[in-house]
Amino acid sequence: MKTCSSLAIFAVSFLLSSITAHARSVKMTKRIDNCPEIVGVVNLHRQFHHDKEHYVYTTNSSEVDRSAVGYEYDGVLGGAFEKQEASTVPLYHIYNDHTQANFYTTDEAERESELSHNLANVDRGIAAFVLSKRACGSKPLFRQFNPATGNHFLTTDEEEVEYALTDRGYEEPIISGFVMQK
Ligand SMILES: *[C@@H]1O[C@H](CO)[C@@H](O)[C@H](O)[C@H]1NC(C)=O
């Protein structure tokens, strides 16, 4: 009888906890489901050159392996777009022939200024399209600059922003558009 009642208690508590877990997962799904459907989202990959502290970003899976030129794969920042979609802007890529550093901007005036003021800068076109404004299910794409090395990098990870500020000599971030959450 005793075994029977403790079994019943176990069964009830198991049932309750699974209902709670289910409710939690339904809520999560609903929150994401409430966002309007966005088409054409592709992963924005980051690669990192450890020695030079340079970063490269691409949505092209054929260009993810750059180990031949010293880069290691560094994960996905979020969802970007290969083609211009509603509410997206180009993320322009500029390569410095002299330092081999890569610079990215969504600001056309900044792009033009970089290309006209530094002869070593080469136009590498558009790396991806990103959202110009915060949208449902998106997160900011932060860009940080290191005045000591002249390097920039992009991240969506707020802990990485903080660490770059406190330990790596980078300045406060600016927001270079938004990407979809992974
Ligand atoms: C992806 O990269 C490959 C190799 O560089 C290139 O041949 C191809 O055209 C690229 N695809 C797009 C959509 O840019």
Q: Which tens digits make up the pLDDT trace of 72-118?
A: 999 999 999 999 988 999 999 999 999 999 999 999 999 999 999 99
Task: Tell me, in angstroms, the distance from the centre of ligand 1 to residue 152's CA.
Answer: 24
Atom of ligand 1 nearest to the CA of 60: 1
pLDDT, position 5: 53
Q: Which of 44, 59, 60 to mutate to test the pocket of ligand 1 (most atoms within 8 A of CB)?
A: 60
Q: Which pLDDT score, from 0 to 100, does residue 9 have?
A: 47
- Determine which residue's CA is closest to atom 10 belonging to ligand 1: 60
* Predicted model pTM: 0.81
Residue closest to 177 by CA, chosen among 146, 155, 145, 152: 155
Pocket of ligand 1 (CB under 6 A): 60, 62-63
pLDDT single digits (tens) 1-35: 444 455 454 444 444 444 444 433 333 333 456 78
pLDDT, position 17:
45
Sign of CA dihedral 82, 84, 88, 89: positive
* Ligand 1 atom with the shortest distance to the CA of 61: 1
For a mutational test of ligand 1's pocket, the pick from 62, 69, 82, i.e. the residue with the most ligand atoms closer than 8 A to its C-beta, is 62
Instruction: Please name every residue paired with 35 in a beta bridge, in sequence order, or none if there are none.
Output: none
The minimum-distance atom of ligand 1 relative to the CA of 62 is 2
Residue nearest to atom 4 of ligand 1 (CA): 62
**Top mutation candidate among 42, 57, 61, 63 for ligand 1, by most atoms within 8 Å of CB:** 63
Indicate whether 54 pLDDT > 70: yes
* Predicted pLDDT at 27: 33
Of 155, 138, 178, 137, nearest to 57 (Cα)? Answer: 155
Q: What is the CA radius of gyration of the chain?
A: 22
**pLDDT band per the 50, 70, 90 thresholds, residue 179:** very high
**Residue 62: pLDDT band with limits 50, 70, 90:** very high
Q: pLDDT tens digit string along 108-159? A: 999 999 999 999 999 999 999 999 999 999 999 999 999 999 999 999 999 9
